[in-house]
Amino acid sequence: MDNTLENKAKFFAQYWDQTVLMNIGHPFKGDNTPDNWYKKFEHDYLLLKSLSAISDEQAIECCRYKSDLSFFTKKKWEVVRHEHHIILESKRSAHSFSIDLVSGDVEFYNNDELEVTISDTTKDYLRGESFLVPFYDLDKEEILNRGWAVLEQEVRNG
């Protein structure tokens, strides 16, 4: 994907109506006026969170978000963190979930057999919580290198 203002606008649009757009260091919330949107974002970026900063509660909600599994809310889920993924397990179930902290994909397992990978709906949830997730063929590092986003932790450590 080319590094154009049009593609940057498409990336920004995924986070619409969230206060994450930084305009010369000040928060700016889009006002639904297309002319205003295109005039203001050339030097702007989104202030987002790294997937590694996801809380246990958010990880559980992400897996529940569109799983449509009635048993999900009946279980107590244990969150186990690894370097590149988070596992949700329940001692009373043969089911588990894995959240990929690079892609944002969620995998559902039944008796350690991969049943399904849930991608788009969980990424919608993660974007709604202001997490940086890949965009088309752009991974997190490329989005950051293009200056389209900055991670909150980097700003605090600045």
CA quadruple 10, 12, 13, 14: dihedral positive or negative? Answer: positive
3-state DSSP assignment of residue 137: coil
Q: What is the pTM of this model?
A: 0.80
Does the structure show a pLDDT above 70 at 49?
yes
Query: pLDDT for 16-35, tens place per residue?
Result: 877 777 765 445 455 555 55
Domain locations along the chain: 5-50+132-157, 53-123
Q: What is the DSSP letter of 26?
A: E
Query: pLDDT for 73-127, tens place per residue?
Result: 666 889 999 999 999 988 877 888 999 999 888 888 888 888 887 777 888 889 9
Burial 59-69 (b: 16+ CB within 10 A, else e): bbebbbbebee
Percent of the chain residues past pLDDT 70, beyond the cut: 79
> What's the CA angle centered on 17, arms 97 and 19, to 5 degrees?
90
**Residues 49, 78, 100, 112: what is their CA dihedral angle, to the nearest 10 degrees?**
-170
Quick one: angle between helices 56-64 and 120-128, nearest 10? 140
Q: What's the confidence (pLDDT) of residue 71? A: 60
Task: Give 49's strand partners.
Answer: 131
- Do residues 46 and 15 touch, judged by C-beta distance below 8 A? yes
Longest CA–CA span in the chain (Å) reads 54
- Provide φ and ψ at 49, rounded to 5°: -105, 145
Q: Token digits for 73?
A: 């809310």
